[in-house]
Structure 1
């Protein structure tokens, strides 16, 4: 990344030790490490947002192609984009449907467990 060798790093450590002293050097290292980690997390977030925006733009362009061709004779890439958009639309229109199904199945499982416990008690 910065192409810093062992000797350059040791020279920086010695200068830091002389300038800051042994008491303040660990605190300064922790502070710099915190700054670096926050910059990395920020850049990772920006990278993720940009890739998501590019994916959305690609899906939008593929949807336009599909609309222009009348949803017939679609390339596999365009068909996959249309399918993912349809799935996303279904999730947006019915966001709680899968949660309700999972919730009802867990309630049914609990009821079955209660019945099995009652049978064992008898």
Structure 2
């Protein structure tokens, strides 16, 4: 990420030691390390979410392409994508179906 060499690290350490002192320097280093770790985790989670969104977009495009071809004469790869998308849509709908059924049964029981 940053192109920091050995001598730059030595210079930063000496300046930090002079400015913060030997008592506060280890605490400052721990805080900076935590901050860098949290930034890396956040960047990783954003990257994962973007990859998932791109995959969903690709599956949606494949489904639209298959629908435009009227599901006739499609390649096996495209048929596999359509099946995966349908399965993913069913899995997403299942939690909502069970909660809507529970809500409907509870609303009929309430006065």
Q: Secondary structure at the match of 1:48?
A: helix
Residue 88 of structure 2 corresponds to residue 88 of structure 1: yes
Q: 1:89 to 1:28 in 2, by over 3 A?
A: same
Measured on the aligned residues, the alpha-carbon RMSD in Å equals 1.6
C-alpha offsets along residues 30-73 of structure 1, whole Å, 9 cap, x if unaligned? Answer: 11111111111111111111111111111111000111111122
Using CA pairs below 8 Å that are at least 6 residues apart, which structure has the higher relative contact order?
Answer: 2
Where do 4+ consecutive residues of structure 1 move more than 6 Å? Answer: none
Gaps of 5+ in 1: 96-122
| Count of residues in Structure 1 that have an aligned counterpart in Structure 2 | 95
**Secondary structure at the residue paired with 2:3?**
coil
Counterparts of 1:1-122 in structure 2, within 5 Å, are: 1-92=1-92
What is the SS of the residue equivalent to 1:21?
Answer: helix
Give 1:80 shift. 2.0
State the alpha-carbon separation in 2 of the partners of residues 93 and 42 from structure 1: 29
**Alpha-carbon shift at residue 90 of structure 1 (Å):** 4.0
Q: Deviations over 1:83-108 (max 9, x none)?
A: 2112224434556xxxxxxxxxxxxx
**Do the aligned partners of residues 92 and 54 (structure 1) sit closer, same or farther apart at CA in structure 2, a change above 3 Å counting?**
closer
Separation in 2 of the partners of 1:29 and 1:80? Answer: 51
Instruction: Tell me the CA shift for residue 17 of structure 1.
Output: 0.7
